[in-house]
Structure 1
């Protein structure tokens, strides 16, 4: 029986996705399951006979697990199976992983894989990695403000996403744009921006498709910029999303490259869902490592 290391966020999903039910589903598909809750000590231990690492949770759980998988003492590569039970599930949506849990697990027998790049950021006090996006401005501010929101009435992912869009619109109308200097593979760009994001996947945060052409396994990154002059236009765009209207893609300023050097004259910074302690401007170097992860896909 193929051995699966099951990394579970017990706060994700509902009662149907309990430890006992998940183990039973894997047994039904003839997988030997080694269960760990990511909320308990020692969950990062992955034995060398593991064939598949199953991640049960949202985008934050995927990143947390990826950091453990990419440690120097873990013999890679492992195949990664994803069961998405988060709010946005941007990584799963990018990989087109969707459906009933049993059906997703069943597809893993086919061992169809999709490479997934990892990007490392140098220039901070310690090296940081990201899978989804890295950037400055309104998104880290959104993350900070959403931590203060009373979520007791946001009992569905849809309600939480809509609330995040509403909070983001208020931020956009009031956020102080900052200067940023960016060096790509072959040019230097500078300006005053509300948002500077380097994307590995299409969407970030509350289902905002910043980089519709981004592919997580092509060895390339997408730089997305929102200059001060687009503030009002972007706020109107967010209002259309909040109202449930279909909208054409927003005309962000975009660039493609294998690496970027960024200097932002502000302190709001994030890598995926992690706020970075960043108190003064620094020159940061972003370099993609192609295909460091291998996800099982339908």
Structure 2
């Protein structure tokens, strides 16, 4: 049997995705799984594996990759595979990973390793690794509101998606765009913004497809900029998702290697986490700082955005 490392968020998914069920599915497919819970010390991870399987949502994928990089762990030389068990699963969606657990595991037999470029955000003397995106404006404002007023327990995936979208719509309506100093590959784009988002993948948040062409296999960021005049457009897009539709934003991202910014609100995020910028210094996002490999059945297509 091929030996794999299974990194599992035990709070993700349901009983069909607990330790016993996941290790059983892997065994049936010919994999011997060394189980590791995200609640355990990362120093206890075994080294002699051929594949690292991450079972959880986007937060679990980020936590696993970042912690293994910090530990300079041997498993980084081997590819990652994702069993998406979270709410949004933006990383898996970007990589074209879909289906039930059994189907995804079966697909690994013919899957290929693809280099996934990790970007970084520098805040003072701190360095943050990003897989999804980083920025300022209404997104970190919304994340802050969700932290202050968490969802009630027991909600299903679709219910959580709906609550998050409805609260995001509220955040968009009340957020006041502020002045942001912004440099894109050295060119000045400063002004008042509703949202500044440097993307590593095509969707963030609650499956918000801000950059349908966002390709983690290239060496560029996709910078999405929205000004106050875009507030109604963005609100309509979020409302369409609440109603079960999928419009496409007619906002063309800017390809960039380096994005530097700071805003008057001094509120920023990396992926789904808020970050501190105590002296409100200029933050720097750089593309393709590190590379890890993910298994994909075929190279996903990243079509250019079309007006919906």
Q: TM-score higher than 0.5 here?
A: yes
Partners of 1:52 and 1:81 within 8 A in 2: yes
Displacement, 1:44?
Answer: 4.7
Report 1:107-186 matches (<5 A): 107-147=107-147, 148-152=149-153, 155-185=155-185
- 1:286 matched to 2:285? The reply is yes
| CA pair 10-287 structure 1, distance change in 2 beyond 3 A | same
Secondary structure of the residue aligned to 2:194 is strand
Secondary structure of the residue aligned to 2:249 is coil
Write the deviation string for residues 201-229 of structure 1: whole angstroms up to 9, x where unpaired: 11111111111111011111011111012
What are structure 1's unaligned runs of at least 5 residues? none
Partners of 1:179 and 1:264 within 8 A in 2: yes
| d(CA) in 2 for partners of 1:290, 1:95 | 19
What are structure 2's unaligned runs of at least 5 residues? 298-308
Displacement, 1:177?
Answer: 1.0
Displacement, 1:151?
Answer: 2.4
Corresponding position of 1:255: 254
Secondary structure of the residue aligned to 1:151 is coil
| d(CA) in 1 for partners of 2:123, 2:276 | 13
Corresponding position of 2:70: 71
- 1:61 matched to 2:60? The reply is yes
Partners of 1:37 and 1:43 within 8 A in 2: no
Partners of 2:123 and 2:277 within 8 A in 1: no
Report 1:167-246 matches (<5 A): 167-185=167-185, 187-246=187-246
Secondary structure of the residue aligned to 1:102 is helix
Displacement, 1:81?
Answer: 0.8
Displacement, 1:266?
Answer: 2.1
Partners of 1:55 and 1:83 within 8 A in 2: yes
Displacement, 1:125?
Answer: 4.0
More deviation in 60-69 or 104-113? 104-113
| CA pair 126-82 structure 1, distance change in 2 beyond 3 A | same
Q: CA-atom RMSD, angstroms?
A: 1.8
| d(CA) in 1 for partners of 2:213, 2:55 | 27
| CA pair 270-98 structure 1, distance change in 2 beyond 3 A | same
| d(CA) in 2 for partners of 1:39, 1:271 | 22
| d(CA) in 2 for partners of 1:246, 1:23 | 36
Secondary structure of the residue aligned to 2:117 is strand
